[in-house]
Amino acid sequence: MLTRSGEQAAVSIFLLIVACSRLHANKARTPTSVPFDPNLEEGLMESWHENRARKPPPRSRRFFIIVKFIRSRPFFVNTAALLFALIFSIALGAVYISPNNVLRILVEQIPGLDILPDWPDAFATIILRVRLPHSVLIMITGAALAGSGAAYQGLFRNPLADPYVIGVASGAGLGAVAAMALHWPENLLGYYWIPVGAFIGALLTILVVYSLARVGGLVPLTTLILAGVAVGTFTSSLTSFLMLNSDDRIHRALSFLLGGGTMSGWQPVLASLPYMALGVILLILCGHRLNVLQFGEEQAQQLGVSVERTKILIIVTASLTTAVAVSFSGVIGFIGLIVPHLVRMIWGADYRRLIPLSILGGSTALLLADVLARIVLAPQILPVGIVTALAGTPFFLWILRRAKSEVFW
C-alpha cells in the first residue's frame, strides 16, 4: 500500500516538474496546430480554425493553478518540501515513528514548551541520538553538493559541471581520507580537521582540471568531462591505495565513505556546520557575479566585475562546500547536477535565486534519496550514493543529448 502511493506521488511530482518547465516554452511558441484533414466537414473546419487560434493549449485548470503556485513562490515551495522530507526521513526506519510523534518529540526539545510525553522513551532516544543527526547531516551534504554544483555550472558555463563529474568530489575524498589516515578523529577537534584536508584536495583537483580543460578562454564540454574523469580516476585510485595501507578500523570506515555512506552521531554535524555556514554565505554572495559571468569574461570585465578575483572566489567557495559534503558523507554523485538543473528549468536562470533554491532543493533531494536507500532493501541499508547514481545517470545522458540546443541554459 505504502509503495503504491509512493509510486503515484513520484509520477505526479515528475509531471508537475515537466509542466512547470513547459510554461516558459509555451509563451514563445505558436499554438500547437491540429493536423489538417481534408475530409472534415464544414462545421468541423470551423472548430479546427478555432482550435488553431486558441492559446495556450487547453490544460486542466486545477493542475494549472498548482503549477502557477509552484512557479510564483519558489522559496515557500522549497522550504515546505524540505520540512516534509525531513519529517518523513526521521519517521522512517527499522522502527516506524509516526510523523505526529516525530513533530511532538522535536517540539518538546524547545525549552519552555511542555508536552506530556505519551510515547515510549526509546522513541526520543532513537530520534535525538540516531535519526535526527543522520538526517541533518544528509541535509547539509545535499545542500553543499547542489550549491557547489550550481556554482561550478555557472563558472564553467557548462550544464554538465558537477562536483562528481569534474572530479572535485574524488579529490576532496582523497584529501579527507588522507586527513583521517594521518590523524584518526578522537574528539570533536579531530573532526574539524577532516574538511580542511578535503578542502585542500578539492582545490588542488579543480586547479588541475581547470588548467587541463581550458581551451582559449572557454571550458568546452568535452575537455571538461575528459579532464574530470581522468583526474577523478587518478585521485580515486590514490584513495584506494591509501586504504589498502591503513589499519583495519580506518579501512572499514573508509570503504563505507567511498560508497557514499554517512558517519553517525552529532560530532560530524557539529564539525561541518561552521564550514557549511561560511560556504552558504559565500555562495549567495557569488550569485550576481555568476549572472554577469554568463555573458563571457570579456563582457563581465566591461560591466565592472574583477573577473580573475571573482573566479578565484567562486572556485574557493565551491571547493569548500564540496569538501564539507564529502568529508562526512563520502562521494555522492549527481545531486549537484540534477538539482540546479531542475531549479533552472522551473524558476529560471538568475543565479541570485538559483543558488539558494539549489541549496534548499539539494537538501530535499538527498533526504528523499536517503529514504529510498533505507527502504528499498530494508532492513539492509544501501549507500545513498548508489541511489543518486541510479537516478542521476539517465538524467546526465539526457542533458548530454540536449546540451546542443539548450533553451534553459
Partner 1 sequence: MNHFTISDLSVAYQTVQVLDRISLQVAPGEILALIGPNGAGKSTLVRAVSGVVKIKQGIVSYGGCDMTQLSPPERARILGVVPQAQPVGGAFTVEQTVLLGRTAYMNWLGQASPADLEAVHWAMEKTRIEHLAQRRNAELSGGEQQRVLLARALAQKTAVLLLDEPTNHLDLRHQVNFLSLVKDLAQQENLAVMMALHDLNQVSMYADRVALLVDGCLLALGSPAEVLTEKNLHTAYQTRVQILSDIDGYPPLILPRRA
Residue type, 5: S
* 391 counts as binding partner 1 under rule CB under 8 A: no
Query: Which residue's CB is nearer to partner 1, number 315 or number 332?
Result: 315
Least distance (Å) from partner 1 to the CB of residue 28?
A: 5
Distance from C-alpha of 368 to C-alpha of 330, rounded to nearest angstrom? 17
Rank residues 193 and 408 by Cβ distance to partner 1 and give the closer one. 408
d(CA 98, CA 206): 44
User: Should residue 305 be labelled a site residue for partner 1 when binding is judged by CB under 8 A?
Assistant: yes
Contact between 267 and 129 under an 8 Å Cβ cutoff? The reply is no
Considering only residues 133 through 192, tell me which ones interact with partner 1, judged by CB under 8 A: 157
- Rounded Cα gap, residues 360 and 83, in angstroms: 10
**Closest separation between CB of residue 372 and partner 1, Å?**
31
Residues 323-362 that bind partner 1 (CB under 8 A): 344, 348-350, 352
Measured from the CB of residue 52, what is the shortest distance to partner 1 in angstroms?
A: 21
Q: Does 304 bind partner 1 (CB under 8 A)?
A: yes
Three-state DSSP at 261 gives coil
CB of 206 to partner 1, least distance (A): 23
From 303-311, 315-323, 332-340, 372-380, give the range in contact with partner 1 by CB under 8 A. 303-311
Shortest reach from residue 67's CB to partner 1, in Å: 17
- Rounded to 10 deg, the angle between the 132-156 and 307-329 helix axes is 150
Q: Considering beta carbons, is residue 282 or 326 the nearer one to partner 1?
A: 282
Task: List CB contacts of 379: < 8 A, sequence separation 6 or more.
Answer: 94
Q: Does 24 interact with partner 1 (rule: CB under 8 A)?
A: yes
Beta carbon of residue 156, minimum distance to partner 1 (angstroms, whole number): 14
Give the nearest distance from C-beta 406 to partner 1 in angstroms. Answer: 7
Determine if 216 is a binding residue for partner 1 (CB under 8 A): no
Grid cell of 121 as nine digits: 522513551
Binding status of residue 59 toward partner 1 by CB under 8 A: no
245 binds partner 1 (CB under 8 A): no
Q: Which residues in 250-282 are b (16+ Cβ under 10 Å) and which e?
A: beebbeebbebbbbeeebbbebbeebbeebbeb
Long-range contacts made by residues 311-314, C-beta under 8 angstroms, separation at least 24?
311/155, 313/282, 313/285, 313/286, 313/289, 314/151, 314/154, 314/155, 314/286, 314/289, 314/290
Rounded Cα gap, residues 388 and 111, in angstroms: 38
Count of CB atoms situated within 10 Å of the CB of 295: 13
Contacts (CB under 8 A) with partner 1, residues 280-299: 284-285, 287-289, 291-292, 294-296, 298-299
**Choice between 24 and 251, CB closer to partner 1:** 24
Binding site for partner 1 (CB under 8 A): 24, 28, 157, 284-285, 287-289, 291-292, 294-296, 298-299, 301-307, 344, 348-350, 352, 406-409
